[in-house]
Amino acid sequence: MTTYLVEWTGREATMLRRALRLTAERFAARVGVSPRTVAYWASNPAVAPRLSTQETLQEVLDAARPEVKARFHELTRTTPSDQFTEAVRREALAMFASVSQTIQVGAL
Domain boundaries, the chain: 10-107
Q: Whole-prediction pTM value? A: 0.71
Greater pLDDT, 3 or 1: 3
- The amino acid at residue 19 is A
Q: What is the overall mean pLDDT for the chain?
A: 84
Greater pLDDT, 83 or 61: 61
For the chain, state the CA radius of gyration: 14
Min mean pLDDT across 17-31, 71-85, 92-106 is at 92-106
Percent over 90 (pLDDT), the chain: 62
Judge whether residue 64 has pLDDT over 70: yes
* Nearest-angstrom CA–CA distance, 27 and 101: 19
Greater pLDDT, 88 or 62: 62
What does the angle CA 21 – CA 12 – CA 27 come to, to the nearest 5 degrees?
40
> Which residues contact residue 31 at a Cβ distance below 8 angstroms, ignoring those fewer than 6 apart?
13, 38, 53, 56, 57, 60
Judge whether residue 4 has pLDDT over 70: no
**Concatenated DSSP letters for 43-59?**
H-TTPPPPHHHHHHHHH
How high is the pLDDT of residue 92? Answer: 72
